[in-house]
Amino acid sequence: MTTSSDHTFELEAATGADGVLYVEVAGDLAWDAADELLDVARAHLSAAPHVSDIRVDCARLTLCDSMGLSVLLALHRDTAAAGVRLCLERRPAVLDRLLLLTGTYEHLTGQPESAGPDGPTPTDEADPRLPRR
């Protein structure tokens, strides 16, 4: 089976008056375009040292491969070193699944692995609707 990607990568970034860098990503955060996110964030961090947060809106993200994950980890490292909070907002299931599979969910989201995109989710034992094992 041959698949083709119709999801080109798009990125928009702007620093708000509140000192927050707002970044919206769309399409595939993959090997051929992932560095663009890191380059844009680093450029904004060096040009505007007063940035307090970087909020990445991932709602239109369609794929994140290993290079995309590597960029997110590098971005997290850069923001932590600069004392800036990184927030991956409106994460699609495909991104959460990758973060959970690679053990990077809590590291990149600041939430325990039992949390979903909308906050904590019940564990099997805590949900009375699920059968006991």
CA angle 62, 84, 58 (to 5 degrees): 10
Each residue of 36-74: pLDDT tens digit? 999 999 999 888 778 999 999 999 999 999 999 999 999
Write down the pLDDT at residue 107: 97
Contact 28, 63 (CB under 8 A): yes
Concatenated DSSP letters for 100-118?
A: HHHT-HHHHHSS-TTEETT
- Whether 79 shows a pLDDT value over 80: the answer reads yes
| pTM score, whole prediction | 0.80
DSSP 7-47: ---EEEEEE-TTSEEEEEEEEEE-TTTHHHHHHHHHHHHHH
Scored b (16 or more CB within 10 A) or e, 57-71 reads bbeebbbbeeebbeb
Q: pLDDT-derived band of residue 104, with 50, 70 and 90 as boundaries? A: very high
DSSP letters spanning 114-132: TEETTEE---TTT-TTSPP
Query: Cα separation of 23 and 55, whole Å?
Result: 6
Interior angle at CA 60, CA 69 and CA 80, nearest 5: 40
Determine the residue type at 124. D
Six token digits for residue 124: 């099997």
